[in-house]
Amino acid sequence: METKEKEYKVLTIPKLTWDKKSLTETFGELIAQPLEPGFGHTLGNALRRILLGAVEGAAVTSVVIDKVNNEFAAIPGVVEDAMQVVLNIKDIVIRNKDGRPGKMRLRKSGEAIVTVGDIEADEHIELINKDHVIAHIAAGGELDIEFFVENGRGYQPAQWPQGKSYQDDGRIYIDAMFSPIRRVVFEIEKARVGQDIGYDKLILQIHTDGSENPVDAIHYSVSVLRTQLEHFLASSEIPFNEISKMPEEEEVKEPLELDKLGLKDVPVELLLKPIEELELSVRAHNCLINAGIKRVIDLVNVPEEEALKIKNFGKKSLNEVKDSMKSFGLSFGMNISEEDVKKVLESRGNN
């Protein structure tokens, strides 16, 4: 006897948009709406906690200062003592391009104001706040520091080896704040779906130190959350993404037969717009632009197998673009005629 497959109620799929006018390397405002009632606080709290505590970053974890063997000593020829220099070092903002440990070196002599810009770093390490002051050297003085950089999450206290007050190499271990996220706040407002105003609108504001941009930080945080939640599944995941869809704000009756044009359920207004409307990552966006794909219609007309042949466009970028297009009801290889799109848009303008 066959058992009928259980039918589930659909979930409202939210549309995510970034406020492009305010989006920078250090600030971003993400708006997600509509969300099921109560989901605003659920998702907002979860994302905020992961953003603040789980996003990887790089920081200096130890230093070797020439002629100094502890953080309480004076540095000959330098205005600041070792403690103040270490405190200034903690505020260096570092972008680690591949996550590997690295080293940096600072050598400066003569009367000068020493800044982060004077530091030489390994190739995979990029220094962000180059104007940040490390120390002031007096006339005839010099400052020689070797920095050790590591990747991590959250806050890490100084990792002093047990049983030794002074290290043979003079290394000073320091506290490290790895997180590139400085502040996260969110607000919940009401959103309308049809006549129902009981849905949620989540407004998430993310402040970073510049070593990680807000868009990539969200991508990382959602990946962490999804990975953790997958292990709570008792069996195959219920395919809510397949049975649900994004609610339409207004149903428009088309005078043209969209079925025959291949445009039924397609957001026609979006097709002739730039691919920036899809909110892609910088890497995926640049790969497509370099390949001459500048509009959404150019993208959906590319066969999926051809997309993988685009230079530097791997499976990760492919899946990202597919997910973004799917949220708008689009896909690769749609073979949509630009002439048909213009006909639909003209007919709308005449009504």
Report pLDDT for 112.
95
Q: What is the pLDDT of residues 269-316, one digit of tens each?
A: 788 889 888 888 888 888 889 889 999 889 988 888 888 888 888 888
Q: What is the pLDDT of residues 75-87, one digit of tens each?
A: 999 999 999 999 9
pLDDT value at 222 more than 50: yes
pLDDT value at 256 more than 80: no
The residues near 310 (Cβ < 8 Å, ≥ 6 apart) are 287, 288, 291, 293
Q: Residue type for 315, please?
A: K
CATH number at 9-54+182-246: 3.30.1360.10
What number is the average pLDDT over the span 125-153?
95
Indicate the length of the chain as a whole number. Answer: 351
pLDDT > 70: percent of the chain: 90
Helices 315-326 and 282-290: crossing angle in degrees, nearest 10, is: 100
What number is the average pLDDT over the span 164-177?
84
On average, the pLDDT of the chain sits at 87
pLDDT value at 263 more than 80: no
CATH superfamily of 56-177: DNA-directed RNA polymerase, insert domain (2.170.120.12)
Q: Of 97, 81, 77, 99, which is closest to residue 89 (Cα–Cα)?
A: 81
CA distance 102 to 119: 13
- Cα end-to-end span (Å), the chain: 54
Report pLDDT for 254.
41
Q: Of 138, 51, 143, 140, which is closest to residue 89 (Cα–Cα)?
A: 143
CATH architecture of the domain covering 252-351: Orthogonal Bundle (1.10)
Q: What is the pLDDT of residues 186-216, one digit of tens each?
A: 999 998 877 778 889 999 999 999 999 999 9
All structural domains of the chain with their residue ranges: 9-54+182-246, 56-177, 252-351
pLDDT value at 266 more than 80: no
What number is the average pLDDT over the span 237-244?
78
